[in-house]
Structure 1
């Protein structure tokens, strides 16, 4: 494994977070963010994944080794050591950065590339380590993914218009507004409400927090837990739950999804369904409140109609009033 080298000016973009589309195109796996605390001698680090297909156990093992190689060069020992290392490499300054004391270094392995951004002073995070799959691996993965999607479309394996487990993400219909709120959901047994996820992207807009509020005990089943996790990943890949900026851009592309009567004009609602469940995603793409809620329902009740089965086993839809 090679040692750190100063990055070329044209590589500056690899030291920063990008949109979902750019991240996928570059093969971004995720990044580490860290600092040395108030004293400059502490060590705090957090991993931010991008739900990449390249985040495998092999990558995780290599990341630990790469981090050790970088640490052996002294750059991550303390803020004082980082300043000394950066001062020895003035050519590594990142042009156009918010400070002239931001430096960029890179290293490569057989399968991955690592970009280390350093700021050797107090007042901001001291380092970010962005991890990427090598370009040839990205090209091959995209080729394979394209072939899989083509095969699915040709064979109609999914049964949902070629979109895999999930149907197409749809803006809300006006009569669906109650499904985006807890008050109606918890008061009506006919809605078959299961529970909801609530989450946000933190104060830095590059975190991801969510918690589950249970109503029907459905989340205790393995099948639902797996489907809910796949749903969150699906929405992240689409950009809706990637970060606040991507959510804002997604909502602006769908002005018809604004929820009428909401407390803010930028509150948007989307829904999608699977074989057994229906999901309603409420988004608020600004700071000041939770960024999203995902309300989950069983599909034995849809839009004021409940499913009933007659004596012959046939399924009928019967209108009901949604209170």
Structure 2
């Protein structure tokens, strides 16, 4: 089985980090894999963090391990740190707020989407791979693309911001506070 990796688009990078229970449930998060290459730069030391045991089916495991094994082959970006570094700098898609330290790709199997945050730097975790039910994630991403609606007490629109956007809250006599916002539902 062959897989293709494509750079993360739009707000997909938000799903390569821990999210609320509600967002994780709506997107069909199965769990995530965290890995590093170790001090030899050639190991693959990993930990699986399960979110929903009932989603961790044999079908999921087959598609997930096929994707991971595919990218761990010689010359591919999970083979060793140098391969990951070459891949990341070749792709050149960085998360804007990470100063070029992390790169993101999406790999789809038949039923699942694997959103990978790659960091080729030694001494840090090199991979976070968040695993979602593909149709659930895509549906959530489509709905979140309309932005987060802020309303008044009569449900009239005040303004919208994009998913992951920031608002500033000002309290009389206090410093303004910035808060990042995530899309939950309409």
Range into which the TM-score falls when normalised by the shorter chain: 0.5 to 0.7
Separation of aligned partners in 1, 2:87 and 2:76: 7
RMSD after superposition: 2.0
Residues 79 and 133 of structure 1, relative CA distance in 2, 3 Å threshold? same
Query: What does the per-residue CA deviation read over 1:289-318, in whole Å, with 9 as the maximum and x for residues that have no partner?
Result: xxxxxxxxxxxxxxxxxxxxxxxxxxxxxx
Query: Higher relative contact order by CA 8 Å / sep ≥ 6: 1 or 2?
Result: 2
What is the aligned partner in structure 2 of residue 56 from structure 1? 57
Give the structure 2 partner of residue 30 of structure 1. 31
> What is the number of equivalent residue pairs in this alignment?
137
Q: Secondary structure at the match of 1:53?
A: helix
- CA drift of 1:71 comes to 2.0
Query: Residue 86 of structure 1 aligns with which residue?
Result: 88
> Deviations for 1:2-52, whole angstroms, at most 9, x for unmatched residues?
311111132111111111111111111001100011221222011000025
CA deviations over 1:182-207 (Å, ceiling 9, x no partner): xxxxxxxxxxxxxxxxxxxxxxxxxx
Maintained 8 Å contact 1:31/1:49: yes
| Larger Rg, first or second structure (1 or 2) | 1
1:5 alignment partner in structure 2? 6
Structure 2 equivalent of residue 20 of structure 1? 21
Could you list the runs of 5+ residues in structure 2 that have no partner in the other structure? 140-186
**Distance 1:42-1:137 versus aligned 2 partners, 3 A rule:** closer
Measured after TM superposition, the shift of residue 120 of structure 1 is 0.4
- How has the CA–CA distance of structure 1 residues 2 and 74 changed in structure 2, closer, same or farther, with 3 Å as cutoff? closer
CA distance in 2, matches of 1:126, 1:85: 13
Question: Would you say the 8 A contact 1:28–1:52 is kept in 2?
Answer: no
The alignment's TM-score, normalised by the length of structure 1, stands at 0.40
* Structure 2 SS opposite 1:30: strand
Please name the residue that 2:66 is paired with: 65
Q: Is residue 2:31 matched to residue 1:47?
A: no
Residues 134 and 80 of structure 1: CA distance in aligned 2, closer, same or farther (over 3 Å): same
Partner of 2:116: 116
Post-superposition CA distance 1:244-273 (Å, at most 9, x none) = xxxxxxxxxxxxxxxxxxxxxxxxxxxxxx
| Contact 1:34–1:126 (8 Å) recurs in 2 | yes
Distance 1:137 1:131, change over 3 A: closer
